[in-house]
Each structure stands twice: as structure tokens, then as C-alpha cells.
Structure 1
Amino acid sequence: MMVSLNSDMGEAFGIHSFGNDDALVALIDTANVACGFHAGDPTGIRETVEKALAGGVTVGAHPGLPDLVGFGRREMKLFPDEAADIVRYQVGALVGFLKAQGAQLDHIKPHGSLYGMAARDAELAEAITAVAGDYGVPVFGIPNSEHEKAANKLGVPFVAEFYVDLKYTADGGLIVARRPHATPVDEAIERARRALTDGIATAVTGEEFPIRVDSICVHSDTPNAVEIATAVRAVLSSVGAAA
């Protein structure tokens, strides 16, 4: 079982930069690049694409809600066709920069609250997944959620994602803070080890639930993201799952 390491990157705007993108390129397998709605601007997208490709990292789209102030972490009421439109718009922007570099889109992974909303709402999940189907790429999501159900229904490849720097609810949902915070490296190591070897994750309230892992995410804006990614890479190697 090969498990990739991914990170959300390019989440900056203008002269304001965030995250640990430069150092993470050497540690990850694939980058989820912000496409402008929750973060990212044209120059930032180009620079992130160039940086990832130069480091041998594949590039996927990380479309979010149109909410720069809230960083895409405030839920909105969307009709399914609106969700498809905002995803298609952002993916198209990224694909333009990829084509300029002679590269292909690797996947689509919704950002923040759009990701969480689609995990619970079948219609939103299907609308977003249909865009991935149009591009012939996988969609990243939470296993056993509406993400995976939509992918199975539409025949789109699905990548089951696990987070070592976020906490989970008992039903397998993610708890996303408005502001990033450091995660103790030993906690991240234990979460990764249990998910990979036992197929188990633990909720913030103590309940255990089954988890499947095709890719592990380390957020670039986590203050100690480089330390976490380094540790998770070591765990992947130790269990023979490094991509």
C-alpha cells in the first residue's frame, strides 16, 4: 500500500505570504494549490506551480469558497450548480498555469468549509466530483463520507485522505479552526501510525472509528508543518507505505 503525502500550498495573496511551502516541497508528493477564491492570486499560482514542478511534486487544484476575509472557512449556502461553477472556474485558472509549464492537473481537493459541506451534502459532493470527472482526475476526500459516495456513483477515482494536524469528530468529520495552530509532533506521529497500521482514528471526544488512508495531508500553514511532514514521512517509510 503506497500512501502519498500532500499539502495545501499557495495560500497567500499579493505581498502577504503564509505557510511553509518552500521547505515542504522537498517532503511531499503532491501539492494542492489555492486557486484564488479563499487565497492565491495569479502570480502566486504561477510561482507555486513552478516551485512544485521543479521539486518533482504533482499539482492538484484546491478550490475554496469565495471568501478571502474568512479564508474559505466560513460556510455559505450554495446550490449544487453554484458549487460546480466556483470549482470549475478555479480549476480552469490553475490548469491554465499548468499548461504553460507543460504539466497536467493531478487531482481536485476542495478547501476548508467547501470540503466539509460536501462531505455532508450528497448534491454538493456530486456537483464538485462531476468537475473532477470532466477533467479525468481523482477527487480527494474523507473516506465513507458523501465525498466517496459521490465518486463511486459517478465513476471518478477517489483518494481517501487523512489529517494528522486536525482533530476529528466521532462521526469522522473534521474540526477546522479559523486560525492554524501547531500540532505536537508526537501526536501527529501516533495518529499517522495508528491510521496506517491499525486503520483507526480517535475523535476529540475519545471515540475510535475506522479510517482508510490513501494520502496524508499536512497543512502548510501549520506553524510546525515541516517538523510534522518530516516525522510523517519517516512513519510512512517505517511501515513500507511511502509513495
Structure 2
Amino acid sequence: MIIKLNCDMGESFAAWQMGDDDAVMPHIDMANIACGFHAGGPAIMAQTIQLALQHQVEIGAHPAYPDLAGFGRRTLHFPPAELKAILHYQIGAMRALCNQAGADLSYVKPHGALYNDMQRDQELFELVCRVVAEQNQMYPEQPSLYLLTLATANNSIQQRIAEQTQVTLCFEAFADRRYEADGTLRSRQYSDAVLTDRNAILAQARAFANGEPIIASDGSQLQLVPQTLCVHGDNAESIATVVAIRQALNGV
């Protein structure tokens, strides 16, 4: 399988530095760029778009709940119409900056709590799909956006909603996260939720790429079929791991 690497990018804010985008960008295929509501901002968005263009990396909008203080990791509740407006605002801003730079916006990947919430809430997943569909309808002359979502043991509900809204899905997995038997991510409240050993991370990445099962938290085998792997590059060790994953997927 050809699996792309995606990474959350452009997540600095004002004087606060998050991640090393310059070091990570050459090794990934897809950049999920923060849209200013959990991190980032207009100037950082524009800079990250230029960096992605330089390395021929696909550009995705990474919208979130409006939660700068909580880095978008807290669930917030809004009436559907207000949440749709919040998402259109962020995606529209990213699209405008892409247009200004002569770049294409390729996809949408919700961030943090919004991403996790839409996995559990069918109505929220449908709302996000409808926003993506409306964006495609508003800009028919531009490439259609697709939606990045979690690959689980059974994605039939998400696939049905996507078909109804005429949105293409791209399923992702995580090289450095432990999974439950149903394919959901193990909660970070557990100490083993994040894989820290590089060999274990590489083994899981290779299993995904080779179409092989991974071992879930209960010891059972779990078969997932992702099209992209999410990687993180917020410190020197994680950047080295991204490079190692890239080399492993390339057969180096």
C-alpha cells in the first residue's frame, strides 16, 4: 500500500513556538495547517502554505473549536448553524490564503476535540461533511475537498454519511498511538495510550503499510486499512522518528 504521511502544522501562536515545521515538512505528504482557532493565525498560515508549496506537500485546513486557551482539546457545544459558520470561517480563510499564494486547498482535517467528537457523534460527523460539501459547491472551479477521518474496525456509518453528502473520505491511522479492539484510539488517560519506543512505532507503521494487523490494547489483532498515517514533529526525537517512518515506508 502507498500510505501518505500527514502532520499538524502551523500551530505556533504569537511568541509561542509549537513544532519544528521547517524540519518536518520535507518528510511528509500532507500538511494539516491550523486555521487560527486553536493555534496559528493569518501570518503563520501564510508562511506554512509557502513552506508546503516549497516541498510540494498537499495542504489541508485544520479547523477546531474556538479554544486558543485549551489548544482545541476541550469539547465545546454550539448550535449547528453557529458551528457550521465557525467551520466555514476557518476553511474559507485557509482557502483565501491558498488562493493568494497560488496553491490548492486539498482537504479538511478537524483538530483535537472536534475530531474526536465527530467520531462518536453521527450528527456532528454529518455536519462536518455538509460543510465540506458546501465548500465544494461554492467553489466548483477548484479541486474538491476531501475529509480526513479516523480508520476504525468498521467505518460503515461514516461511509454512508459521506455518500449521502457526496464527500470523499480519507481514512487515517496513527503510528504512535495505542488502539482499542474496535479501532478507536486508546484514551490518553491511560499511561500506554502513546507509543514512545521508536521500534514499536516503526513496527506499527510498517504493519499499516503492509496491510497487516496491529496488536490492540487487549492483546487482540486489529485490522485497519488507512490511506494516511498521522505523525508528530514537536521535538527532536519525534522528528527523528518521522524521518525513520519515511525511510521505512520508502523501503530504506
**Residue of structure 1 aligned with 2:200, choices 184, 187, 190:** 187
Question: Residue 165 of structure 2: which of 142, 150, 154 is its match?
Answer: 154
Cα 1:101–1:76, aligned 2, differ >3 Å: closer, same or farther?
A: same
Structure 1 CA distance for aligned equivalents of residues 92 and 132 of structure 2: 11
The answer to whether the aligner puts 1:207 opposite 2:215 as a matched pair is no
1:200 CA displacement: 2.0
Matched residue SS, 1:6: strand
4+ residue stretches of structure 1 with deviation over 6 A? none
Query: Alpha-carbon deviations, 1:166-190, whole Å to 9, x = none?
Result: 2223322224649xx7832111111
CA separation in 1, counterparts of 2:10 and 2:185?
A: 22
Q: Is the contact between residue 118 and residue 147 of structure 1 (CA under 8 Å) also seen in structure 2?
A: no
Measured after TM superposition, the shift of residue 226 of structure 1 is 1.4
- How do 1:135-150 and structure 2 match up within 5 A? 135=136, 136-143=144-151, 144-145=154-155, 147-150=158-161
Aligned mates of 2:78, 2:127 — CA distance in 1: 11
The alignment partner of 1:106 has SS state of strand
Distance 2:236 2:70 in 1: 19
Q: Give the corresponding residue for 2:140.
A: none
1:191-223, Cα deviation, whole Å (9 max, x unpaired): 111222244233333333221110111023365
Q: Which residue of 2 aligns with 1:234?
A: 247
SS at match of 2:250: helix
Partner of 1:7: 7
User: Counterparts in 2 of 1:36-185, with a 5 A limit?
Assistant: 36-133=36-133, 134-135=135-136, 136-143=144-151, 144-145=154-155, 147-175=158-186, 177=188, 183-185=196-198
What letter corresponds to residue 29 of structure 1 in structure 2? D
Please give the secondary structure, in 2, of the residue aligned with 1:227.
helix
* TM-align CA RMSD: 2.2
Structure 2: gaps spanning 5 or more residues: 137-143
Kept in 2: contact 1:80–1:123 (CA 8 A): no
Q: Deviations 1:126-151 (Å, cap 9, x if unpaired)?
A: 11112222332110001234544432
Deviations 1:61-82 (A, max 9, x none): 0001111111111112344333
Contact 2:170–2:228 (8 Å) recurs in 1? yes
Q: TM-score, normalised by structure 1?
A: 0.89
Would you say how many aligned residue pairs link Structure 1 and Structure 2? 238
Considering Cα pairs closer than 8 Å and 6+ residues apart, tell me whether 1 or 2 has the greater RCO: 1
In 2, Cα distance between the equivalents of 1:12 and 1:148? 33
Distance 1:208 1:80, change over 3 A: farther
Question: Aligned partners of 2:238, 2:4: CA distance in 1, in Å?
Answer: 16
Q: Check 1:31–1:90 CA distance in 2 against 1; reply closer, same or farther (3 A cut).
A: same
